[in-house]
A and B are shown apart, each in its own frame.
Chain A
Amino acid sequence: MTLDATDRAILNRMQDDLPLTAHPFASVAQELGITEDELLSRLVRMKEQRIITRFGPFFDAAAMGGAFCLCAMAVPGDEFETVLTKVNAHPEVAHNYERTHRLNMWFVLATETPEGIEAAADAIERETGIEVLRFPKLQEFFIGFRVAA
């Protein structure tokens, strides 16, 4: 899998907001100096290759009256896969990462209500017998998120 200059330009542009119009890809293609067909076929390929994991609206659960919470667990190595299966089975678990620390499993809960966070974290504790530390954000200092391709 290799990315050429056009793929990289597309990835950089597509991390910014897409216009909310009937033919959004046509206007982005025009900005990039390529055809709409070429833009779409490259996007389809990059999605198939999992270079793009998702394309679409980014929802803010908090603005819908819901909540996000970063959580962490210290999972013993020999139980890791078993615990992982139980944790990931919860639809409220939006992202989950293994990290280098005694607290080695870090996931984000996204729920429609603030109470949903506690309910999901408590359920995970009950099912796994491992404490779920909760780190809700108190303050956000930056919301941009782009990677230079």
Chain B
Amino acid sequence: MIDAKDREIIEALQGGLPLVPAPYAAVAETLGLDEDALLFRLAELKSRGVIRRIAAAPNHYKLGMTANGMTVWDVEDSQIAELGTRIGALPFVTHCYERPRALPDWPYNLFAMVHGSDRDEVEEKRAEITAILGETCRAKDILYSTRILKKTGLRLKTKG
């Protein structure tokens, strides 16, 4: 869990880190903290997994990775841990999750995100997954993204 000071820090950073030589000093000033105190707090948030990493989020589309397919699969529940681990380890799979089915509309329980420069490349990668899953896969589909409708990341609600 996070305390009030952590919350202030997260609120100050959720829009991003300033692109200046001493970004933490700049943020610390707006929070009325000193730079070392802020760095200490951030290190603690990181060790607790609240901050996963401090990094850039690229726009896939602008990088030429214009095809993005969410591949979905219906596999035996008893085998999903083993199969999911194998699919998640593939270099072209960026996210891989087990999720609940929503029957009857949605029979799929394994989701693997595949990016490529075009749909042909994504289909080739999808065929590799099909080959690995083999007979254990009862149904499959792919959902291409056609438009980013929103991308902001986590926003904390301002508490009154």
In the assembled complex, the CB of B27 is this many whole angstroms from the nearest CB of chain A, namely 10
Q: SS class of chain A's interface: helix, strand, loop or mixed?
A: mixed
Judge whether B2 and A149 touch: CB under 8 Å. Answer: no
In this complex, how many residues of chain B approach chain A with their Cβ under 8 Å: the count is 74
Judge whether B143 and A95 touch: CB under 8 Å. Answer: no
Judge whether B58 and A147 touch: CB under 8 Å. Answer: yes
In this complex, how many residues of chain A approach chain B with their Cβ under 8 Å: the count is 75
- How many A-B residue pairs have C-beta atoms within 8 angstroms? Tell me: 226
Contact with A along B43-75 (1 / 0, CB 8 A): 101101111111111111011010000100000
Chain A CB count within 10 A is highest, among B58, B94, B152, for: B58
**Distance in angstroms between the alpha carbons of A51 and B62 in the assembled complex:** 6
Judge whether A64 and B1 touch: CB under 8 Å. Answer: yes
Judge whether B154 and A110 touch: CB under 8 Å. Answer: yes
Residues of B within 8 A of A (CB): 1-2, 10, 13-17, 19-25, 35, 39, 42-43, 45-46, 48-60, 62-63, 65, 70, 80-81, 84-85, 87-89, 93-100, 102, 105-106, 111, 115, 141, 143-157
Residues of A within 8 A of B (CB): 1, 3, 11, 14-18, 20-26, 36, 40, 43-44, 47, 49-61, 63-65, 70, 72, 84, 87-88, 91-103, 105-107, 110, 112, 133-147, 149
